[in-house]
Structure 1
Amino acid sequence: MTLHTRLAGVAAHLPETTLSTAELEDRLADRNPALDLPRGLIHDHSGVRRRHIAPPHEKPSDLAAHAARRVLEECDLQAADLDLLIYAGVSSDAVEPATGHIVAAKIGACCPVFDVRNACNSVLNAIQVADALISGGRHRRVLICCGELPTAGTPWTLSSAEEYVTVAASYTVSDAGTAVLLEAAAEPGVLAHRFSAYSAGWPAAVSAVDNLTSDPQADRPTIGPLTVDSAQLVRGFENIDYAVFHKPLADLGLTWDDFAAICVHQASLATLWWFCDQVRIPQGKVVVTIAQHGNLVASTLLVQLARVVGSGRVRRGDLVALVGLASGASAGIVVVRW
């Protein structure tokens, strides 16, 4: 019998505490009284009005574990029922071991684990890997989970107004945990996936390793501020062949209009609509999360999927496209029938 992969469930955990962009600007002004930091820059350039902030004691594995427990409960399963756990995120608890081990220990799983990491496309690549393992008969039930804690690296102290512009993308990010459960099935749920990269564009968006904290007393992980050359980043995406998005649809005999929802990674509202115009995605199909939830990093697409499934906009049998864009630069699409 031919094995296929279906998405059995999806869950998102968004921390209750939020910080508005106006509140963030107030905090920056208080901590940098000698600088004249322009008001409105963050919202004007990104569209972000609010972001989620995890409790001080929580780490990426905690956020991922919250979502993992929720999806298992909704699917009436136990952690012992898992064949494999893949942790897919930019944030991690430690350089070693794989954060997947930490999540597995927290939820009580005893299956094999590993991490997949490719900036904001980490979850999409994990789905690609899980589909290959399930359809190849290696595993029957795979949990992909992600915990993003980018606000831990917020640069609150600045040397100049120029630095503020350079690291402005660091003020758009948001904390979140997500999980998706994939299972072997007789009928296909994951219909197609395709990826592309323009790796010469990697310097456009960087959070450098040498900016990581070396303080052994730090009680939560931190990452260096994200520095972004917006023009260079856009050029990187322009160098990616957009056939990566169109060919899978053509092979399946589909158009964008056939989808109940199209989940697209969102680093800024302006970039989102620019990209949709480039690849002809109808704006009415897009699940917009950037304004009220910020840039959710690799958790973005699963937060959007959980949102449309939970609201009833997407029902069993409906088509959904997961469209990824990530620094590097990389792009990809996963087409699923929910």
Structure 2
Amino acid sequence: MTRYARITGTGSYLPERRLTNDDLAAQLAERGIETSNEWIVERTGIQARHFADAHACSSDLALEASRKAIEAAGITAQDIDLIIVATSTPDMVFPSTACILQNKLGANGCPAFDVQAVCSGFVYALTVADSMIRSGAAQRALVVGAEVFSRILNFNDRTTCVLFGDGAGAVVLEASEQPGILACDLHADGKHVDILCVPGHVSGGEVLGSPLLVMDGQAVFKMAVGVLEKAAHAVLAKAGKTEADIDWLVPHQANIRIMQSTARKLKLSMDKVIVTVDQHGNTSAASIPLALDHGVRSGQIQPGQTVMLEGVGGGFTWGAVLLNM
């Protein structure tokens, strides 16, 4: 019997504090930084984003999303035997945010670890969980993307601080005789480290370098468009599928223009693309599971449909997963 991994539940969580572009522009104006709703929408498609309260950590957001995914799967936290959290904004240097989440869920005892691939993190984490379930090392995995990117933004740089938001998304992945995840394709190219990074680290009780996000927007855009097309076609080829088999594309929600370009290259109408970037901004590793849960709960994504997930992020990392819901 061939063993597969299927998504049986999805969940997501956004902090209560919602900032529209006008809200953010007003805050930036107090710093002498000029921007506007029109400027942001034209370049990114983003209209609003959510920021976590000062006391909230990635594990807190992950906890809420995980509870919803577990409930949707019809299981309990104690049924989980693997936890993987994709995040670039962990609660602390160590232990992992996954271990902290595990304790908050009351799912203690199973393997729990973080994956750090920035905005590709959820695709990476899902691929690892799929491999562990297929091998028999796990039966039910909780895979989470959770971020508080508002903590690492430079609010004196209008080209980056308007792009990101906070949030979490989660899925429960279970072993099944029915095909679920059909194929995965992951890549990284470390020579592009500098185009998107937070170039700081802790040493001797101090932060050395900058603890704030730095991005070469044009370089990231050019890189993202090219690698997403390649990953999409690679994962289709592995699964023996074509663009015509895709019912829904759930891409990383970074920029509406990147998403539109990817859809064109896959010969997909934007009607087949789940779009949440307008209301969530770029939530890094959380963006794909947030968008996936939105698609499921809105009734757009239906059981039996074929869905492609795609992510691209700092590292430079990228990848795609093709699955049946």
Using structure 2 for the length normalisation, give the TM-score. Answer: 0.91
Matched, 1:303 2:294: no
Cross-structure match for 1:202? 193
Residue 28 of structure 2 contacts residue 35 of structure 2 at CA under 8 Å; is this kept in 1?
no
Structure 1 residues 307, 319: closer, same or farther in 2, change over 3 A? same
| One-letter identity of the residue aligned with 1:14 | L
Unaligned runs of 5+ in 1: 159-163, 217-222
Cross-structure match for 1:220? none
Residue 228 of structure 2 contacts residue 318 of structure 2 at CA under 8 Å; is this kept in 1?
no
Structure 1 residues 114, 230: closer, same or farther in 2, change over 3 A? same
Distance 2:169 2:267 in 1: 28
Residue 89 of structure 2 contacts residue 148 of structure 2 at CA under 8 Å; is this kept in 1?
yes
Cross-structure match for 1:119? 118
| One-letter identity of the residue aligned with 1:22 | D
Unaligned runs of 5+ in 2: none
Residue 228 of structure 2 contacts residue 319 of structure 2 at CA under 8 Å; is this kept in 1?
no
Distance 2:199 2:39 in 1: 24
Cross-structure match for 1:3? 3
CA displacement at 1:194 relative to structure 2? 0.8
Given candidates 244, 262, 265, the residue that maps to 2:252 is: 265
Which 10-residue stretch deviates more, 200-209 or 16-25?
200-209
Which whole-Å deviations, capped at 9, do the CAs of 1:145-202 have from their partners, x for residues lacking one? 222111123334x3xxxxx35xx22321111111111111111101111122333222
CA displacement at 1:215 relative to structure 2? 8.3
Q: CA RMSD in A?
A: 2.3
CA displacement at 1:238 relative to structure 2? 6.0
Using structure 1 for the length normalisation, give the TM-score. Answer: 0.87
| One-letter identity of the residue aligned with 1:67 | A
Residue 196 of structure 1 contacts residue 240 of structure 1 at CA under 8 Å; is this kept in 2?
no
| One-letter identity of the residue aligned with 1:177 | A
CA displacement at 1:239 relative to structure 2? 6.2
Figure out how many residues of one structure are paired with residues of the other and give that number. Answer: 320
Residue 170 of structure 1 contacts residue 225 of structure 1 at CA under 8 Å; is this kept in 2?
no
CA displacement at 1:271 relative to structure 2? 2.4
CA displacement at 1:250 relative to structure 2? 3.2
Residue 69 of structure 2 contacts residue 171 of structure 2 at CA under 8 Å; is this kept in 1?
yes
Structure 1 residues 173, 234: closer, same or farther in 2, change over 3 A? closer
Distance 2:26 2:244 in 1: 43
Distance 2:185 2:120 in 1: 12
Which whole-Å deviations, capped at 9, do the CAs of 1:42-69 have from their partners, x for residues lacking one? 3332221100122322110000011111
Which 10-residue stretch deviates more, 75-84 or 179-188?
75-84
Matches within 5 A, 1:86-235: 86-110=84-108, 111-156=110-155, 158=156, 164-165=157-158, 168-210=159-201, 224-235=211-222
CA displacement at 1:337 relative to structure 2? 0.4
Which whole-Å deviations, capped at 9, do the CAs of 1:195-216 have from their partners, x for residues lacking one? 223332221111222499x789
Which whole-Å deviations, capped at 9, do the CAs of 1:246-301 have from their partners, x for residues lacking one? 13323434233322211011211222223333444432211111112111211111
Cross-structure match for 1:57? 55
Structure 2 counterpart SS, 1:334: strand
Residue 325 of structure 1 contacts residue 332 of structure 1 at CA under 8 Å; is this kept in 2?
yes
CA displacement at 1:326 relative to structure 2? 1.4
Structure 1 counterpart SS, 2:118: coil
Which 10-residue stretch deviates more, 2-11 or 239-248?
239-248
Distance 1:230 1:211 in 2: 26
Q: What percent of counterpart residues are identical?
A: 30
| One-letter identity of the residue aligned with 2:51 | I
Matched, 1:43 2:41: yes
Matches within 5 A, 1:291-330: 291-330=278-317
Distance 1:238 1:74 in 2: 34
| One-letter identity of the residue aligned with 2:19 | L
